[in-house]
Amino acid sequence: MSAGSGLTACSNIQARLNTIWETNAGNREPMPMVEYLMSDENRNGLQMEINGKGKLKTVEVVYFPRLVTGSASEDQARTCTASSTVDDASATYSMDTSVNVQSEFTFTYGNLVSYCQDNENFYAEQVMRHVDLVARDVAVKSANQAQAILGEWNTHAENIQDSSLSPDWKTFSTRTRLATTGADQYSPYPFAFANIRRAAEMSNFGGPVRMFGGLDFAQAYDQMAAAGGMSQAGVDVGELARRYGIAAEYDYAVTQATGSYSKSWAVGQGALQLLQFNMYDNSFNGRNDDTVKLGIITDPMTGLQMDIAFKIDCETVHTVITATTKVVGLPSDLYQAGDDLSGVTRFAQVDVDNS
């Protein structure tokens, strides 16, 4: 086998690896968090506001923070005069077009003379190789951006049985096994996802909660969801996993950001947004000449839209693929100081603690 030495000359019989191996060696690596952020289920109107026709806008989102429980007056005489003013808050969302992920490649007509593949198919395969690379690097970049904006849990979630909260309220820890040693280290703790669901409800996460990250929760979820019958505690753990509306998936990029297989991120629907900017999303910026093409290519797996520049300079072909993205979340002051939910943004960390 060889790699990195240019194109292999045509032999008498040559076949594509992806054709010979039916399992398809070119299969894409799953990127569940990015795929979820780009899904119709998760997306809101912020992307439409910030980007369009090659123009980048700064969006100011205005909102009214929740009034703090206990701040209302009691046992007051009826009156027609009020003194408290109505105050709103705002958060600004913007992008830096220089913060991007880019991959490029070039070849000459001479490189293709003896190469055993249709030229158009060769080019399409190279484009997809680089689209895949850009998407994977965007996944890693997005996880790093998301980690910087992790929110908090409701402080009262520390009272959930067999669970705890970190001092900064950003990490909710619960069990996935009955014990760390002995026979029970292989026995699932049946209430792991019930505890996470309760913490999410206490923290106003809303509807379905998705979890992305380490193997510990992903494996615990798979094992519980596949379980049949009753556990030793007399609980149908498979039914519990389905009932609580939580899906846990392994995500390589998140594990790289957290540096741990025991940590995952709980994401409420719509709480995180992956913003994109496309320079060539405009009839003027885009171009479709015989030798120069500037446009947008959509990754069929993740839905990411990337700028693609194609140029033929004499007999040399140049291609540059660029993705400009940014992960943003809800404002950190959505709930005011003194509110039980102060710091909650419906995006926080979960950790396994079987001690």
Q: Whole-model pTM?
A: 0.85
Region 283-293: mean pLDDT is 77
What phi-psi label fits residue 265: left (phi over 0), alpha (psi between -120 and 50 degrees) or beta?
A: beta
pLDDT at 232: 46
**What's the pLDDT tens digit per position in 182-195?**
777 778 888 899 99
- What does pLDDT average to over the chain? 85
pLDDT at 230: 45
Region 42-50: mean pLDDT is 84
How does residue 166 score in pLDDT terms, banded at 50, 70 and 90? very high
Phi, psi of 340 (to 5 degrees): -55, -25
Q: Which residue, among 169, 147, 143, has the nearest Cα to 158 in the 3D structure?
A: 169
The domain limits of the chain are 155-271+330-352
Give 333 or 285, the one with higher predicted confidence. 333
Q: What are the angstrom distances between the C-alpha of 246 and each of 31, 37, 207?
A: 18, 16, 10
> Beta strand 347-352 with 171-174: parallel, antiparallel or unpaired?
parallel
Q: How many helices and strands (H and E) does the chain possess? A: 9, 16
Burial class (CB in 10 A: 0-12, 13-18, 19+), 62: exposed
Using DSSP's 3-state secondary structure scheme, residue 218 falls into helix
Reply yes or no on whether the pLDDT at 102 is more than 50.
yes
Q: Which residue, among 143, 138, 144, 173, has the nearest Cα to 157 in the 3D structure?
A: 173
pLDDT at 99: 92
Residue listed under structure tokens 């404002």: 331
Q: Calculate what percentage of the chain has a pLDDT beyond 70.
A: 85
pLDDT at 39: 92
Q: At what angle do helices 192-202 and 215-226 cross, to 10 degrees?
A: 110
Using DSSP's 3-state secondary structure scheme, residue 145 falls into helix
Reply yes or no on whether the pLDDT at 22 is more than 60.
no
| DSSP code for 233 | T
Pairwise CA distance, residues 355 & 350, whole Å: 15
